[in-house]
A and B are shown apart, each in its own frame.
Chain A
Amino acid sequence: MSTATSMYQDQEESDTQIGDTLVELNDLKTYYGGQGMFAGPPVKAVDGVTFDIQKGETLGLVGESGCGKTTLGRTLIQLENARGGSIKYDGTEITELSGKELKEWRKNVQMVFQDPESSLNERMTVGEIIKEPLDVHDWKTPKDRRARVREILDIVGLHPEHFYRYPHQFSGGQKQRVGIARALALEPEFVILDEPVSALDASVQAKILNLLDDLQDRFGLTYLLIAHDLSVVEQITDRVAVMYLGNVMELGKTEELFDDPANPYTLSLLSAIPEPDPTIEKNRITLRGTPPNPRDPPKGCPFTTRCPMKVRPEKYRDIDDDVWEGIEVFREVVRERTRIERSWTSRIKTALGGTDPYQDVDEIIEDIFGHLDLSSEVQSPVGEAVQYVKNGNEEQARQYLREEFGSVCDVELPADKRVSNTGRTSMCHRHGAEYDEPRESVEIYETT
């Protein structure tokens, strides 16, 4: 094992493609609900993800909460069932495994969970916790198992006497070490780290990250690191996949992706990290609102509702940025309203000719556009949409707005484009020849 480890190490450092492919995802989809005759639309947590993980590398998976990164991790080790697509592990299709085969395969892959507080059983001693996977898989003899637990305690930097202690006697960092020890007990090849340090203090975080790094060197592990903290990802991964609303927006070498992000979402996400240096003035892109509901994702590009670099239709290409922003906010409000169900009382009120707060859009229009100078070419379509809303046709207003102000971003899912010669891919219409690149379309970046 150690020769294999050092081999990966060398290759990793010599910037070439490392190892062989260990995991291969192809158009993977994980949906929740939506099955059965009366079910509503499903929650598309992972919606068509394709990438490879090489042996011995650390692949980072980043994105905001709710973007599907944890679901992807859970699907990878078959804690969730994929609705479509394939996962190949070392050449074996694992979405079709079941029973004994699945159990046998699971020895190879383990997971470290986010919250050590809730992922360790309070009523078991640390020794029992770490021994449990060995018991489950009937690993060697009971005596060997105990010896193995002591060995692994030492490996993760705990002491033999910790065998008989309970989780509550440990600090956060030590608990996470126990979680790591449990994951490593069966000598897996592939470990999924689901936010392993996000519940810890900075200085403890650093220790756990260093430990994970050592363990990888020592045992030749392959990691999938799921995290929302970008600085952690930057520090310890080889490649990064940036996820948004169930899609991988950009995937490439960590260094390159952080230095020269290609996708508008990556750009926005990186620019939101607070710099631990007060002298740097960043011209930050602050994204508006929150990601859309995965039950009702936008048609076209998943990022279209918040994208600061969205392609505008020809007709409105030159209007003022603030007005454009206002239009986007208005569309957001209308979209939100189509989502909510109107109560019966409010419907009856409308039927009886009373005023219904849901129809009161004038105030919103005033709020959004009041301080702006609207040209007539913007005013009339907005007015028309307002009329639809007043008549209770939010859906129609939404469609109308999409037709009027929408562009290629609103109707077509962009394809993955190679954006560098190291094979980095990004999903954005702006990579097409007819538009400016995302980076050029908005002024960013730091001035000191």
Chain B
Amino acid sequence: MSQSFATEANTDGDALLQVENLQTVFFTDKETIRAVDGITFDVERGETVGIVGESGSGKSVTARSIMGLIKSPGKIVEGSIKYKGDDLVGNSESEWRDIRGGEIAMVFQDPLSSLNPVYTVGNQIKEALRLHQGLTGQEATQEAIELLESVGIPDAPRRVKEYPHEFSGGMRQRAVIATALACEPDLLICDEPTTALDVTIQAQILDLLKELQEERDIGIMFITHDMGVIAEIADRVNVMYAGEIVEQADVEELYENPQHPYTRGLLKSIPGRTERGEKLATIEGEVPTASAPATDCRFAPRCPEAFDGCEQVHPVPVEVSRNGSDHTASCLLYPDDVPRDEAVEMHRSRSTATEEAIDE
């Protein structure tokens, strides 16, 4: 397949979650921070979509935007978040409350701080059951026990009466997942759920998520900075950099055939992929904070392949697949089957076109 510009992202309308041109901006006294700056992706039922990037790239703000957890001074200024076809942007607080937990649930990084230390684990699961399913009393206890069993906690009838501090780290994360599942959500957002855990426990949690997904056919959006974990769990991957998605592909395609220089750099800097004893490749500099709409490539200052055009033109997603699968990269190097000037010109015209569309 020859390379051409990506058409508008797949908008068939049957995806579970469709995020389109989402822009979340924080207005602080000092500066305006464009934490999420025009990202588009979707999550289907039964699939796991990974979001990777360094800290500060906007991964968690993306998750919080979808959960409706952006509070002042932050604001979603543009774009839509369609869940089962309904746009969530502009929902009232009570509408959000029905979605949160009931339809979309979230698992956070640190299980200890997402559980309340003064209530038993059972109590916290029951709270979710009461709020979203109206279950109380014995019925709720029974359901809570079953949920704990379903996430692989042995001796659940006793465990349900214990407090979070009596659980080990891995078990706490299981309990958090049980709480998240209490209301049978269709979409689970996992924000670095295994980062605070040991590898052996991480393996258990990843297995558990895969199992639950198979059982319940839920869509999972998985956020992490660990390329190993992404390779293990994701079906499709979005690579984020400074608030933008710079590359989007199926997981196998991405690891085999990374196109964006940033993705390549990320993959090279993983210790496990370098020959033993060799120096690790590094990416110079750090993720910048985006304060104005992009007029250039935000990665250009750190990019080993940057050229003059990178500082003048904002790249748009380009289809870069060689085998026909969906694979886009936002980089002026592509399409690489036309002369570079022409490619840059195509990016320029496309990005001004979108800007005008937004202005209207």
Contacts and interface: CB of A to CB of B under 8 A. Distances in A.
Contacts of A228: 198-199
B227 A202 contact: yes
Interface in A305-344: 329, 332-333, 336-337
B12 interface: no
Nearest to B57: A201
A10 B271 CA distance: 24
A444 interface: no
From DSSP, what is the main secondary structure of chain B's interface residues? helix
A278 B154 contact: no
B282 interface: yes
A275 interface: yes
A363 B154 CA distance: 11
Interface string B39-55: 00000000000000011
B272 A276 contact: yes
Interface residues of B, number: 50
Contacts of B198: 64-65, 228
A286 B255 CA distance: 24
B33 interface: no
Contacts of A268: 200
B269 interface: yes
Given A203-B54, A273-B199, A290-B201, A235 B276 contact: yes
19 contacts: A201-B55, A203-B266, A207-B282, A210-B280, A228-B199, A230-B199, A232-B271, A235-B276, A235-B277, A269-B199, A275-B228, A276-B270, A277-B231, A279-B252, A286-B204, A290-B169, A336-B155, A364-B154, A367-B149
Contacts of A367: 149, 154, 156
B170 interface: yes
A273 B228 contact: yes
Contacts of B286: 171, 173, 204
B229 interface: yes
What class of interface size applies to chain A in its complex with B?
Answer: 35 or more
Given A276-B231, A286-B203, A203 B170 contact: no
B168 interface: yes
B199 A210 contact: no
Interface of A: 64-65, 171-173, 201-207, 209-210, 213, 228-232, 234-235, 254-255, 268-269, 272-279, 284, 286-287, 289-290, 329, 332-333, 336-337, 357-358, 360, 363-364, 367-368
Given A235-B274, A274-B202, A203 B282 contact: yes
Contacts of B296: none
A278 to B, nearest CB: 4
Contacts of A230: 199
A228 B196 CA distance: 11
Nearest to B145: A363
B20 interface: no
B271 A235 contact: yes
Interface string B267-304: 10111111011011111001000000000000000000
Nearest to A209: B280
Nearest to B279: A210
Contacts of B228: 231, 273-276
A64 B203 CA distance: 13
Interface string B180-224: 000000000000000000111111101100000000000000000
Contact of A272 (B202, B265, B270): B202
A229 B161 CA distance: 34
A284 B206 CA distance: 12
Q: Nearest 9 A-B pairs (CB), nearest first? A: A274-B228, A206-B280, A231-B272, A231-B271, A272-B203, A274-B232, A235-B271, A64-B198, A206-B269
A287 B231 contact: no
A172 B56 CA distance: 12
A202 B200 contact: no
A206 B207 contact: no
B71 interface: no
